[in-house]
Amino acid sequence: MAAWDLSVTVEDLGSDAPPVTLSVDSGLHVGGVILKLVEKTQIKRDWSDHALWWEQKQRWLLRTAWTLDKYGIHADARLVFMPQHKPLRLGLPNGITLRLRACFSSSVFQTVMGICRMLNIRHPEELSLLQPVEEKKKKKDKNSAEEIYDLTEVPLSSASRPCLYNGMPAHFADSPQMEAIYKMLSVTQPPPAPEVIAKQYRAASVVDKAHIHGRWLDSSRCLLQQGIQENSRLWLRFKYFAFYDMEPKYDVVRLTQLYEQARWAILLEDIDCTEEEMMLFGALQYHISKVSQSEPQMLSSSAAMDDLESALQSLEVKMEGESSSASEMLENMTAPELNDYLKIFRPKRMTLKGYKQYWFKFQDTSISYFKSKEESIGEPIQQINLKGCEVAPDVNVTAQKFLIRLLIPAPEGMNEVYLRCENEQQYAQWMAGCRLASKGKSLADSSFQSEIQSIRSFLAMQKTSSGTHGNAPANDESINTHSLVSPRYHKKYKAKQLTPRILDAYQNVAQLSLTDAVMRFLQIWQALPDFGLSYVVVRFKGSRKDEVLGIGPNRLIRIDLAVGDVVKTWRYNNMKQWNVNWDIRQVAIEFEGNINIAFACVTADCKIVHEFIGGYIFMSTRSRAKSDTLNEELFHKLTGGHEAL
């Protein structure tokens, strides 16, 4: 066989180095080429990760046993010899950029699996890579200042499950730096400064959102084939909103990142919610950031001690000291009280009277008041049971106004009662008591102290935000409430006005543990009507205008662009088949009952739509196939398109 010259660029020699020329024949297999090449470079190193890339055909020559002939390589082929794993700048859902080595030669699906393995994220099939929105190049200098966490030194492993050390993959236990990275991955980030939120790109319309979804990488092709170069920036995001088998115990990183993605989706109004929901999200963010600072590991189960259990123990102690009588024990278990002079006002009654001062006693879940302290032994003037009542704050720290507004249910309706406290201290205690009582808990409840604390810290927030704005020291006591809501509300409310509203929502979540709070956040997010929809602008067959196709975890919806209304919903479980005509780039779907739809995609390649549909169908098969191993082949079959055939 005739020998001919094959020129191969060896990346490691530098971009200026001339290609290495090898004398080969067509019967030589790829492995042989590599061997010759390595010998010729005279460099001794580990070449095992290197492979040949055929530039014109945009393909890797990974089958070392194939001959050049079989690959169809001739003398004009430009080959590049380079490592299969290259560094990538990966934007995580929490907004932090990570530098790591990713596989450029296998399908993106496998590349994501590898990344997730490294980061300890289970169920990598739910994530994928997204080309980021171009940043405005104005502030280049600022980009360079961005802190980048480097994971490129992590050895590549092929083990399907990383071995865990101290609950984290072993490679994170190597050094304090690595541990810091793991902490960044597994602990939620503090609330971003309001300016940061305002500066971020926000999709203003459904069409904008559709454009973002046109940036998903193709799962069945490799990075290099999709024009991704070494050190490119990509976003790692949850793509399929069908989260399977969430287990806080094993999914620390996964949950944290999912929470971050959800949080940003809310803050940037990527998903719409109502004002009330926004306040609740804000309250949860506040709570999560507060708790994650005090409670470093998410793993610790903060199951509150069973009150019976604790009661048992205290009783046991009692029983050991022989002389305890039942009444003594009872005494020991009775709830603490609050006693103080407060002012009361009932707006519904004669307004003229104004606030009147009485001696108040807070016991169990009720408030009683007396003319004076001296008369507090007798019958109270009135006793008010707060169980089931609504409690609202009316506070202005600068004006020293500390009002508790109570809406107390009675058979005839709700009675409004205002309690006026003298100072912060008093207010925090009584407010905390009212809050607990409204939920039927007494002052003896273990959460009483923490409730007082959180009320105080909210008061503190009001102080700082009313003082010199901005640049307040970023300790946990003083979070700017604008950090917790989307920019829309920055305009609508001053931080001072937001505080009470968030505090209001906060009282319902203040008792949650970190994990529970994160889960609650995710649940509320998932319960939003538009949750999980990915949009694509399409042109339906026979229609002359652009419409939007929303792809959800269990359905497709057709949205009229002009009105924004959902026109039609099709569910996957009624779907008989879907086809893509790759020549005319048209997706055709048939549903039960002879319903056929077909559309061409405008803002995204039809492969993306195809992959979304196939991907969701794949996700729904997971519960049935209970095995732990990911059925990659099935995923490829469902999403690969013509390449899979």
Partner 1 sequence: MDDIDAMFTDLLGEMDLLTQSLGQETVPPAPLPSTDKEVNYSIGYADLNESLNELEDCDLDALMADLVADLNATEEKFAAQKEVLKVPSLPPPDLPPPPKGLSTHPASSLASPASPASSTSSNVSTPASSTASPLPPPPPQVPKPTKEEMEANIKADKIKLALEKLKEAKVKKLVVKVLMNDGSSKTLMVDERQTVREVLDNLFEKTHCDCNVDWSLVETNPDLQLERTFEDHENLVEPLSAWTRDSENKVLFQERGEKYEVFKNPQNFYLWKKDKNALKDMKDKDKELLIQENFCGTSIIVPDLEGVMHLKEDGKKSWKPRLFQLRASGIYYVPKGKTKSSRDLICFVQFDNVNVYYGKDFKGKYKAPTDFCFFLKHPQIQKESQYIKYLCCDDAWSMNLWVTGIRIAKYGASLYENYKTAEKAAVSSVWTNRSSSTPSSSNPSTPSPTIKAKSPSQANGHAPKPQQGPVSVDFGNVPPPPPPPPLSVFPHPTPPLAAKSSSKPAAPQRHLPTNFPPPPPAMDLLPPPPPPPNEDDALEAPPDFLPPPPPAIGFGSLPPPPTFNSPPLPPPPVSFRGVDQSLPPPPPDPGFLPPPPPQPMFTGAGAPPPPPPPPPPAAVPRAAIRPSGSVKKMPPAPPKRTTPSLQGGDGGDFMSELMLAMNKKRVH
The tokens describing 121, both together, are 């994220």
**Complex with partner 1: residue 83 or 93, whichever CB lies closer:** 93
604, 213 contact by CB (below 8 A): yes
365-372 contacts, C-beta under 8 A, 24 or more apart: 365/436, 365/437, 365/440, 365/441, 365/442, 366/437, 367/419, 367/434, 367/437, 369/342, 369/344
Contacts of 217 (CB under 8 A, 6+ apart): 108, 128, 129, 130, 131, 223, 226, 228, 234
Q: How far is the CB of 570 from partner 1 (least distance, A)?
A: 10
Neighbour count for residue 317 (Cβ, 10 Å): 11
How many Å apart are CA 360 and CA 61, to the nearest integer?
84
**Complex with partner 1: residue 243 or 578, whichever CB lies closer:** 243
Does 347 engage in binding with partner 1 (CB under 8 A)? no
β-pairing, 3-10 vs 79-83, is parallel
Pick the binder of partner 1 from 58, 175, 382, 569 (CB under 8 A). 569
- Show the binding pattern over residues 122-161: x = contacts partner 1 (CB under 8 A), - = does not: ----------------------------------------
Does 330 engage in binding with partner 1 (CB under 8 A)? yes
Q: Which residue has the tokens 């094959």?
A: 6
Using only C-alpha atoms, what is the Rg of the chain? 32
Contacts of 401 (CB under 8 A, 6+ apart): 394, 395, 420
**Helix or strand or coil: residue 209?**
helix
Find the binding residues for partner 1 in span 1-60 (CB under 8 A). Answer: none
Q: How far is the CB of 331 from partner 1 (least distance, A)?
A: 12
367, 383 contact by CB (below 8 A): yes
**Complex with partner 1: residue 226 or 508, whichever CB lies closer:** 508
Does 503 engage in binding with partner 1 (CB under 8 A)? no
β-pairing, 366-370 vs 79-83, is unpaired
Does 167 engage in binding with partner 1 (CB under 8 A)? no
Find the binding residues for partner 1 in span 578-607 (CB under 8 A). Answer: 593
Find the binding residues for partner 1 in span 407-466 (CB under 8 A). Answer: 409-414
Question: Could you please report the per-residue DSSP string of 134-173?
Answer: PPPGGGHHHHHHS-EEE-TTSPP---SSPPEETTEEGGGG
Count CA within 13 A, CB hemisphere, residue 383.
Answer: 11
Does 564 engage in binding with partner 1 (CB under 8 A)? yes
Find the binding residues for partner 1 in span 231-290 (CB under 8 A). Answer: 243, 246, 269, 272-277, 280
Pick the binder of partner 1 from 75, 148, 527, 644 (CB under 8 A). 527
Length of the chain: 645
Single out the segment in contact with partner 1 by CB under 8 A; choices: 260-268, 448-456, 475-483, 569-577: 569-577
- Show the binding pattern over residues 285-324: x = contacts partner 1 (CB under 8 A), - = does not: -----------------------x--xx--xx--x-----
Does 195 engage in binding with partner 1 (CB under 8 A)? no
- Show the binding pattern over residues 198-237: x = contacts partner 1 (CB under 8 A), - = does not: ----------------------------------------
Q: How far is the CB of 628 from partner 1 (least distance, A)?
A: 19
**Complex with partner 1: residue 146 or 316, whichever CB lies closer:** 316
Single out the segment in contact with partner 1 by CB under 8 A; choices: 112-120, 180-188, 329-337, 451-459: 329-337
How many Å apart are CA 642 and CA 191, to the nearest integer?
45
Q: What are the two backbone dihedrals, phi and then psi, of residue 249, each rounded to the nearest 5 degrees?
A: -65, -40
- Show the binding pattern over residues 355-394: x = contacts partner 1 (CB under 8 A), - = does not: ---------------------------------x-x----
**Complex with partner 1: residue 319 or 381, whichever CB lies closer:** 319
**Complex with partner 1: residue 297 or 523, whichever CB lies closer:** 523
Please tell me the count of residues contacting partner 1 according to CB under 8 A.
48
Q: How far is the CB of 262 from partner 1 (least distance, A)?
A: 11
H helices present in 214-341, as ranges:
252-267, 275-294, 307-320, 326-333
Q: Which residue has the tokens 């008041």?
A: 369
Amino acid at 166: N
**Complex with partner 1: residue 83 or 500, whichever CB lies closer:** 500
- Positions in the binding site for partner 1 (CB under 8 A): 243, 246, 269, 272-277, 280, 308, 311-312, 315-316, 319, 325-326, 329-330, 333, 388, 390, 409-414, 488, 508, 519, 522-530, 554, 564-565, 569, 571, 573, 593
